[in-house]
Structure 1
């Protein structure tokens, strides 16, 4: 029987076998290109190649260089996770940048001026931020207004509150004392906050590699690259959880359904209001994580922190495959979009290219990503070749 089957296969015309191969090739191409993160992955590879050729010998891909641009990418990546999930659900949050500045003030003022322990100040910051995220989502759902309008209003409200509250309680808009040492020491000396937000990890591994001659070392033998910043761990953790939820859970199906057609999703029993409000709260959580990590790194809080971060997060999500109309996108793609940001922003400094071209590049990447995502959505996701 096996021989008969083999004979029958051998008797097939050559054109039939070639057609089968072409079908398999087309199917593979369709599967790859229909993935929302495909464009961002291709873009990241292209950027790696460009800087590998133009800045490969300048230290950009040394351990210190990798830590530098991965840190920039990680900060944006933390925001991109929330922005991507919110965009897939068909909504935007333009209050992200203002929430970052406000969250830093919520951490610093109680700790420096009210005598609170830093862990309690951090809980206070998260509690207020999540409440504001809930309010954002509730207003969008309750009023039916576009999230663009509601969150734009909060963009101004929170920025104004950051300035006004800091002046009322402290008389200034940048909070640090004794050369930033007090706030930084409070964070470093608190076991929980320090573990989650301050400093580096895997320092021992970097030092071991330096002793082995695999990494550049200081005079005392320790690695020139101190370790992996905590923000990178937050980025990887949030991206992993977000990708798992979106692709492997019922909540992920709800998010995509709500973004595709909220009325249809509501008619089949999906809790549209809870999904949207939860995602606005997640965005507020990501913004506060960014704020506390930034305060822990700088040792100070400033009311004007987070400028334009809402737009950068949206751009990273769009480069990562999220459609502006909702219902389609990828958290992993948004992570690649943030990686492209970090590499370009830091990588230009390793080349002879004028830094003013950075924004030009980001604008072009956004335009190309939108065109490519729409093409993929129409030609492949809808079953066209």
Structure 2
């Protein structure tokens, strides 16, 4: 008599997810959907306004790059389970220190930039040390740093120069090797060729006749792409990236597994300070001046970009690529409203609406991941 073969059945303890739910828990999903929706919207309502010609693309690319630079640092820190509300003030402070060191004190610009980065990293480390040593919420610690840095940013130029805007950085930066890495352009020859063969528009009259309206890629955009690539590789391809996720997901379990949680968190605070200073340096080199009001509200814009990109406010989950897409959405919308002839103040309304939507979506995703109801 032949023996009946056992019927293969799935383990009842294993819960399978539908492909739809698997797609939902990808952190980049919200950023991808939002990016597609924004581009489709402005393609329909602002296509004839010049938004998608070479100059229009460069405009919103530069704005997006600004958001991207600070979003990378904010994303890594949020995944590690912390916040930094001092990012905007760090932008203003770093830019002002570069101007004071180079213009007022007469230092070489390269030295002013290096010393400013060192100061920023020290402030970031102090934020991290206070948070991990005292157990205070990073929200409170960095809120205090926000006011301290903003106060110094206003006090120092008023005391030294009797004004809150210091110019002359462009003249001081002439021929400086390090300044060119933050304020120059690349691929200028290629863009000139694009203009010569008619791929992009050129000036038809005046002193710039024959030159392309877009004459290269600003270093601001180069820095944004570089930081996104480095941040993505760090987060997804390295052991340290796993430590970042573990530190934000369950810090105590991570410590028990040998993860140096405190060092990870302090490093991420330093990372946000570094990204803010990159932004500030590019901004100072572009405008040739530093202002005490630079960077206002940038910390919130960075956090919103990260949340749109799929990061959970509770930590342990997120994506640098998603944050970059969130930043791209910001840049396109901010410039797109202008091209579409919409009142620019509505950009803030958009930020509030999309933040609320992103938080609701991310809360739903967290429940899927954790199995909560």
TM-score (norm 2): 0.92
Aligned to 2:186: 201
Aligned to 1:157: 148
The CA distance in 2 between the partners of 1:251 and 1:142, in whole Å, is: 21
Aligned to 2:34: 43
Alignment of 1:222 with 2:211, yes or no, is: yes
1:135-172 C-alpha deviation (Å, 9 max, x unpaired):
00000011110000000000000111111122222222
The CA distance in 1 between the partners of 2:111 and 2:311, in whole Å, is: 36
Question: Is residue 121–residue 273 contact of structure 2 (8 Å, CA) maintained in 1?
Answer: yes
Matches within 5 A, 1:181-192: 182-192=168-178
The CA distance in 1 between the partners of 2:229 and 2:173, in whole Å, is: 27
Give the SS at the match of 1:142: helix
Aligned to 2:297: 308
The CA distance in 1 between the partners of 2:185 and 2:148, in whole Å, is: 34
The CA distance in 2 between the partners of 1:115 and 1:187, in whole Å, is: 11
Question: Is residue 259–residue 327 contact of structure 1 (8 Å, CA) maintained in 2?
Answer: yes
Give the SS at the match of 2:221: helix
Give the SS at the match of 2:83: coil
The one of 245, 250, 262 equivalent to 1:256 is: 245
Aligned to 1:237: 226
Whose helix fraction is larger, Structure 1's or Structure 2's?
1
The one of 262, 273, 278 equivalent to 2:262 is: 273
Alignment of 1:85 with 2:76, yes or no, is: yes
CA RMSD of aligned residues (A): 1.6
Aligned to 2:12: none
Shift of 1:383: 6.5
Alignment of 1:326 with 2:318, yes or no, is: no
Alignment of 1:136 with 2:127, yes or no, is: yes
Give the SS at the match of 1:355: coil
Shift of 1:93: 0.3
1:118-147 C-alpha deviation (Å, 9 max, x unpaired):
000001100100000000000001111000
Alignment of 1:339 with 2:339, yes or no, is: no
Tell me: CA distance 1:188–1:38, structure 2 relative to 1, closer, same or farther (3 Å): farther
TM-score (norm 1): 0.89
The CA distance in 2 between the partners of 1:352 and 1:278, in whole Å, is: 43
The number of residues matched between the two structures is 354
Tell me: CA distance 1:334–1:126, structure 2 relative to 1, closer, same or farther (3 Å): same
Aligned to 2:97: 106
Shift of 1:382: 4.0
Question: Is residue 247–residue 253 contact of structure 1 (8 Å, CA) maintained in 2?
Answer: yes
Shift of 1:377: 2.6
The CA distance in 2 between the partners of 1:211 and 1:38, in whole Å, is: 40
The CA distance in 1 between the partners of 2:372 and 2:261, in whole Å, is: 30
1:189-215 C-alpha deviation (Å, 9 max, x unpaired):
202221x10132212222111111111
Aligned to 1:11: none
Matches within 5 A, 1:278-289: 278-289=267-278
Question: Is residue 188–residue 198 contact of structure 1 (8 Å, CA) maintained in 2?
Answer: no
Question: Is residue 84–residue 330 contact of structure 1 (8 Å, CA) maintained in 2?
Answer: yes
Give the SS at the match of 1:57: helix
Shift of 1:384: 9.0
The CA distance in 2 between the partners of 1:187 and 1:311, in whole Å, is: 31
Alignment of 1:95 with 2:80, yes or no, is: no
Give the SS at the match of 2:212: coil
The CA distance in 2 between the partners of 1:38 and 1:133, in whole Å, is: 31
Shift of 1:174: 0.6
The CA distance in 1 between the partners of 2:170 and 2:194, in whole Å, is: 29
The CA distance in 2 between the partners of 1:190 and 1:345, in whole Å, is: 33
Question: Is residue 187–residue 198 contact of structure 1 (8 Å, CA) maintained in 2?
Answer: no
Q: Which runs of 5+ in 2 are unaligned?
A: 1-15
